[in-house]
Chains A and B, each alone.
Chain A
């Protein structure tokens, strides 16, 4: 059985690409980076690797056990080696990307999942270092269950791990403002910097949109696609910006907030704080992304707010 982790080999390329983008930033937009923000994002990436090594064993155990109950053996006969079945690879990649869409969507719509995924969104910047801002606590959600149907279909867990690695590598390069738009055909099918900028935006229009990993077609298919508009500048981060570069707070703030809400709420509402969407509250004192968007639409009619530059404070030509 091949033992191959594509992300390990991609790390040097990530470093070189971040360096290249920093040079671009120096020349074109110095405000695109903030050293402390970059340091926190990269520390997230490192911690995520360590957490994966420490806690990833549970997922591996679940998948290997589930594989024993697979419905199909791919290949010409039951003795075929799973990695030699060529057609299973592209199929696994596409189906894994479909799985990614749904686990990612759950990551934004279920607070338990959001508690882990919010880490990836808590930077107010959008650059290649943001791509490495990965969660430390994904193993403490039920996200792994989304992959179980693929294992039960007959895809070997190692094959799924490898295609998921390539999926993650693909998503690295789209975390940039250095690329405006890709060719039209590419934008139509693939996830791109433009589509993913929308996903990282806190503008009401853009909240909870574009969950795609590699193929943007899933968002178009399931009604969550929103195109980036040139007349509405994007601001990045989360609805309630952290205002802190404290790494541990950045990692655990949503877990702490969620557990605090569960602790303080009446019994009949405790479960809702776990499984309902972020921002939901039993007394209506907070807002979900849907509520924010609705209020914004009522206020503006859904028209673009003309001047909400990426950094709302900068003046033209002024480094922010």
Chain B
């Protein structure tokens, strides 16, 4: 393909891509789902990690994230990603920072990002994560 044709095609495609993105926004596609109850978190945790059986669950007050632990002491952080959810089982490389009414959990993956959870029992989770 000649360079000029490639530039034209690329430019046209770029315009079409941005147009489709703004159409999706204008149509209000997507949305922001909330984690409403423990059953939802358990279902979500079981999908992040096959067979993960959450025993203790804390849901962020805004419903955008949650922490769950299983009988083996594994801890999972779940966050809203777009209009889906994604999660990670925390390892020793995870860090946690306590705030007044919340904790910030970093799974140790830069691109996954730190997850801030405003929860009722931040000290419990901070302690549990620090003991991993």
Contact = CB atoms under 8 A, between A and B. Distances in A.
Main secondary structure on chain B at its contact with chain A?
mixed
Contacts of B10: 46, 49-50
* Interface footprint category on A: 35 or more
B85 A313 contact: yes
Given A38-B20, A43-B17, A243 B113 contact: yes
Nearest to B42: A312
B1 interface: yes
Given A26-B29, A315-B36, A53 B21 contact: no
Interface stretch (A28-36, A76-84, A97-105, A268-276): A28-36
B40 interface: yes
A311 B50 contact: no
Interface in B64-114: 79, 81-88, 109, 111-113
B6 A243 contact: no
Interface residues of B, number: 43
Contacts of B85: 312-313
A299 B51 contact: yes
Interface in A39-96: 39, 42-43, 45-46, 49-50, 53
A25 B29 contact: yes
Contacts of A319: 31, 33
A22 B35 CA distance: 25
B79 A22 contact: no
Contacts of A36: 30, 82
A35 B21 CA distance: 6
B27 A320 contact: no
A46 B40 contact: no
A242 B36 CA distance: 23
Nearest to A249: B111
B47 interface: yes
B13 A34 contact: no
B25 A35 contact: yes
A8 B14 CA distance: 15
B13 A242 contact: no
Contacts of A315: 36
Contacts of B27: 22-23, 25-26, 30
A243 B43 contact: no
Contacts of B28: 26, 30
Contacts of B84: 34, 124-125, 237, 241, 311, 313, 320
A143 B1 CA distance: 22
Contacts of B111: 242-244, 246, 249, 253
The 10 A-B pairs with the shortest beta carbon distances in the complex, nearest first, are: A243-B86, A33-B29, A320-B33, A34-B82, A241-B86, A35-B24, A42-B17, A124-B84, A319-B31, A244-B111
25 contacts: A22-B24, A23-B27, A33-B29, A35-B24, A35-B30, A36-B30, A37-B82, A38-B20, A43-B17, A50-B10, A202-B47, A241-B81, A241-B84, A241-B86, A243-B79, A243-B111, A244-B81, A244-B111, A244-B112, A292-B50, A311-B83, A312-B47, A313-B84, A319-B31, A320-B84
